[in-house]
Each structure stands twice: as C-alpha cells, then as structure tokens.
Chain A
Amino acid sequence: MRPLSSSLSIPDGAAPQQARRLLSAGVAALGLVACAGHVQPGGTQPAPSHADGTITGSWDRAQYPSTYQRHPNPPVLIRNATILTAAGPELKGASILLRDGKVVAVGQDLAPPADATVVDGSGRYVTPGIIDTHSHIGVYAAPGTFAESDGNEATNPVTAQVWAEHSFWPQDPQIPLAIAGGVTVIQALPGSANLIGGRSATLRLVPSRTVQAMKFPGAPYGLKMACGENPKRVYQSRGPSTRMGNMAGYREAFIRAEAYRRKWDEWLQHRKGPPPDRDLQLETLAEVLRGHILVHNHCYRADEMAQMLDLASEFGFAIRSFHHAVEGYKIADLLARKGTAASVWADWCCFKMESFDAVPQNAALLEQAGVKTIIHSDDAIGIQRLNQEAAKAMYAGREAGIPISREQAIRWVTANPAWALGIDSVTGTLEPGKAADVVLWSGDPFSIYSKADQVYNDGWLVYDRHDPTHQPATDFDLGITAPGVGQ
C-alpha cells in the first residue's frame, strides 16, 4: 500500500515490513488493516490458533475498520474559473475535470468529455476541499445537552484508551453546516481535559448512518495530548495540578508504553506461549512510539511547546502538529527546525492566561519562518468559514509587512492540514490523481462575501447551494430546524 503521506516517519527506524506486521497486531493504526492481507475481516470468527501452533486473537482482527464507499457521481468539468490548486500558482480562466472521485486534469482549454456535467465557473473560484485538523463536531454535538456531550473522558488524566470515533454522532446537525462551508475532511478529536485524551478519527464529512462509513480509508490515527491549564484545572484536586505534574504524567505513561511495546514486539516475533495481556491505553501509546499514530498536541505557550518537543525526543516520537499554538510565533524557528506543524486560530485571544499573548500575525510569522501553518477551528461555527479565517490571518500579516501570498494562505486550510493528518498523498491539493475534494466558491474565497456554491467530496456533489436536492440535513434537523438553515 502506498503510504498516505510522503513523510509519515517511523522514528525508531522499524523496517516497513516489520511495521506492517506490527500494524496487524491489533495495535491497529487499524485504518490500515484493510490492506494487511492476513488480517481477518471484522465479524468473522478466526480459529484461536493456527495449525502451526501460533496464537491469534482479537489483536489480529480488524478493529472498527472504515466501511467508507465512494458515492458515484457523473464526471464534472468546471470551466473558466480561477483555481487555487494549493500546489502552484493561482490559475485564471482555468478548468478542472473530475472523474471517478479523482482530479483528472487542471488547466486551460480542457475539452468536456461527452458524459460530463459542465459547470460554468465564470467569476467563481475553485479550491481543494477545506480540511480541519481540529474539530469536536460529532463528539460535542448540537443541541449541546449533556446527553451528547461526549468529547472529554475526564475521569483520568491519561485516557489513551478512548477513541473519538466511539463518541461520534453522525446525525449531529453541525455536520451539514460545516459541509456548506466547504469542509470535506475533519479530524474529530477528544477534548483537552486530559494529558492524553485518546485517539482521533480522520473523517470524510459526508452524510452517513455510521461513523465507520465516514472514516477516511487508510488515514493514520491521531493521538490527542494536552498541555497547560486545562489538565491542571480539571485534575487539580487529584493531580496533576501543576505543569511539572503534567510533564511527569506524560513521561510515566510513555515509560509504561515503552515496556508494553517491547513485550508485544518480542511476542509477535514468534507468537508462541501465552500472549501478553492487551492494554488499550498502552496499545495506542505503543503505536505512537512505532510512528503509526500521529501526535496532535493542544499547547498554547511557547515554553511549554519546547518542553513537549523534549518529551517527544526522550521517547523517540514526533509531534505532528501543535494545536492552538497561540505563542507559536515566539518559537517559530524551533518549530520549523523540528518539522512540527502549527494549527492555529486567526485571532482567538484572552479567554485564559495561556491565550493572553495571542497576536493576529501568528500564522503569518509561522509561515514566514517555514513552519507548516494551519488554520483550524475548534469550533462548530468557525469551521463554517475556515477559508475566511485564513483570509483574516493573511491580511493581518500583510498589513504588518509580512508578505503572505494567496497561494500560501490557501495551503493553511488544505494542503498543510492534509499533511498534518497524514493524508497529503491523497488529498489537499488539486493535482491529477488526487481525490476530487473540491469547492466551487461564488467568489474569491478570501473575501467575506463568498460562499461555497458546490462542494465535491471524493467526487460526490455533496452540497449545492442552488439545488435543494443536494443540501443534506440530519435526522435531528427534520421537523425542528428551519429549512434552508445555513444556506
């Protein structure tokens, strides 16, 4: 299987073959299991042991695999639009051809195939689908009662064993609102109450009865970690109640994970004798150590991010992206050197002490320093206009004399989040062979007045502002919310 990301690294240098084998060890990164030939499909009952005496068990079986299927859609040619590919210069008067869920061609003078739907893009703009690295849609669903508040397993500072997808409600009425804002992929994350909050899920934002049918095939899992005020506030009576307590908590967890990983790796070599006990918490952390699960770290303060980078070095993993990184601009050089992305807001400020030093030029300064910069939402309203928050941050930079190009800014909500989620070889740019994750905007996506006119998710016209038959509503919406909500 082609790796989904050109730069998904295995820091400990495990050979790919060994890595694949380990992947089958229940240890999962189980989005990948569909490609590991010897893994039993979920739901079947394999024998407790093979004829040769090797032992199999739950760890060998598919674990909550993606059942996502691309929705058929006729080929589409969008003509005479301005196209921001996120992979090169802005193209004027250009066309893009989508077929079978893929971008086939981008350029001038593309002839429409006979079976293609032709869309006039005159005066309109095309970008890749918007990707949000930080969403709690589905896990903190509307209408916001305790009944669907499923985002923080705030019962222990380390809950690496929980998976956001097991909380995700596909009928959250916030989903169609985000789709109407041009969002095609989200990372649904556990909240930030805990030092280690659990696994994230990378999801295609499509109407679905189950979360499994939204899971982005092959996407690696993420691990949500959190620094600073939130864990020490939530656990102040039982600990950790300080930042040094936070650090000790991460270190203790990863020390246990190292031992667990060693035990399992040794056993999997021969599969003889009783297997070690499975521990869901350590299984996830061991996968982080193997480089199969990407770390997404909620962290505001510059000094604290530097501590977390040292923690990662101590245990030999990489932090894929800091989230919020409100003080990222203070250590932009360090982040660039470490290759850690920064998922930031345009201007959120001052709601707590660790956000007090926010500046609207954070994204621009990070970009200028060479950091993979991302505008994320962490908000069910903000997710509906991530392109505009990128615009706000781009213009804040320009006004301060930091020259941010449109080509750079569009990558903040497309190519760069795709990289952070480890899916950049599949989506995030408009290049031949990439997924047909495409938004047609009514005007310049960096203008406040532009709306998503059409949204294609993996080639499926999942939203059309001018066609009520392409405006999905959730079950919750029926008979309750106004028709045309969010249009």
Chain B
Amino acid sequence: MSAVPLRLLIVDDEAPARARLRNLLADIAAELPNAVAGEAADGVAALEFLTDPANLPVDVVLLDIRMPRLDGIELVQHLASRASTPAVIFTTAYDQYAVRAFDLNAIDYLLKPVRAPRLLAALKKLPHALPDAAALRSLAPEGRMHLHSSERGRILLVPIGDILFLRAELKYVTARTRGREYLVEESLTHLEDEFGERFIRVHRNCLVARTAIVGVERDHSADGEGHWQVLLRDVAEKLPVSRRQWPQIKALLKEDA
C-alpha cells in the first residue's frame, strides 16, 4: 500500500449523495489511505476545480452522471482533450441505458447506493486512462453539447449551437457567437473531427457553422484578382475563403439554393 493518500474529487448534484461517499471514503481510509480533495455539484464546478493548479493533483473523480449544466459523460468528453487527466469512476442510481453502455465498453461504474467493499475494490483497480473516443461515442452518440472556455478561474460553457465560427489564432482557437468571442483550448483539427457535420472549413484556420452562412461575395480590396469571402448571419465579419476550400463552399451554397 502506498503511503501517499489517494486524492479524490466527489462530483454529485445532491448533497446527501456527496456526504455518503465522504463517509464511505473515511470508512475505508484504514485500508486505502485517501483524502477528499474537493467536492463539486455539477460538471462545470468539477471542470473549474480541475483547472485550478492549486487543487492538483487529483487522482480519481467519483462522477455522478445526471447533473445540471454539464453531465458526467460530457465532463469526461471535455477532460479527454487534456494532457493529464484523473481516473474516473462513474456513480449512478439507475440509468439502464448508461449502464448498458458502460458494460459494453468495460467502463467501471458504481451503483448508488454505493457500498464500501465495492468502492474499495473499484479504487484498488483504478483504470489508467479515461474511456477512449469510441467508448465515449457510444455513451453519448450525439457528442458534446458545449465547448468550454476558461476565464480567470471560471469555466464558461459555450453551446455548440450558438457558435457561428471557430478560428485558430496563434495558440488558441476562438469561438465566435452572436454576442462575443471565447477562447477555447482545443485544436481546430480535433474540433473538425468531432463536429464535421455541423461546421465546414473555409480556410486553413477557420471552421464555419454551415447554418450560419448566408452568402458569399468577392473582395477586391486586397489585390487585383480578389478572393471570395463568406457572409454570416447575425455578425458583420466576413471570412476569407481559401482557394482550396472554395469548391466545397460553392457546393454547399448550391445545395441550399
């Protein structure tokens, strides 16, 4: 048994459920030294906790599935893009669909009410990695509903449906909605893979929501020849289309017409 206690984060929207897990962890502390690093009432709070370096390391997240704002499955999808992630053990009262998907993908979970021996066994054989991309897809076939952006220690959720375009700028990607821009710490390639249905590439550094495109126009200001740019609904910005992407954009516009 290692002398360094296991550090855990408890994520559940119900206070008594968190209290129950804390009690059980205290009960098994003699056999498996552990410390509760923190508690969070939903996925966003958990993401905030895990983003603050002062709280790290966290070895294990005990994660409820059904929660407001950001549920357990989507939280894992957000964590998946990070370099170092804690192990995750799902807890659920009864959700036959999720449970079936867990079994199919050999993902560990605990049924609530959780019992001490079961919790101990799960913590002893901790999974090394988060569920892989295929497993996550089968848990949440519709994919993520939000991107997240971290601002001064706060996590902001950006609904995918609100995003007009995503543009890579130096280190970050910015997500533009009607009201403002958000910084997102993910790669454009990764986002294109995940949301290829919804967004179309107009340029090496830019993905645009297909539904946000209202038209194109030729811009002659740059040089004699000029190039095409995409016009968007709700915002005045015009996005240049690269020569390479132009055929796809033209095809999309033809489809809509």
- A and B are interacting partners: no
